Amino acid sequence: MVVKRIEPRRRFTAFDEDGNEYTIIELVKILDSSTLDDPDGEEEGLKMWRTADGQPVNYRGKGKYQLVVNGKMLFSDDEDAP
């Protein structure tokens, strides 16, 4: 399926072991699932995470994230954090 757009779903705060604060944004790919019966059909695809300044982030489990660039672990107890 073709990606139609990418939408932000939620924002939350995470911290590294040194206490530095990061805003993480969860993004969802919106896929084109159109058919003849539903030419405007869409469905959610994969989720991805980025910092507010665009750095890619890996999800490591509830409240645990890792910056791709340097491997630094981030942690969050924010209620909006997956």
* Residue 80 reports pLDDT greater than 90: no
Task: Give the pLDDT of residue 9.
Answer: 96
Q: Where are the domains of the chain?
A: 3-75
Task: Give the pLDDT of residue 12.
Answer: 97
- More confident site: 74 or 40: 74
* Residue 52 reports pLDDT greater than 90: yes
Of the pLDDT bands very low, low, confident and very high (cuts 50, 70, 90), residue 1 is confident
Residue 30 buriedness (CB in 10 A; 0-12 / 13-18 / 19+): middle
Residue 36 and residue 73: Cα distance in Å, rounded? Answer: 46
Task: Give the pLDDT of residue 57.
Answer: 98
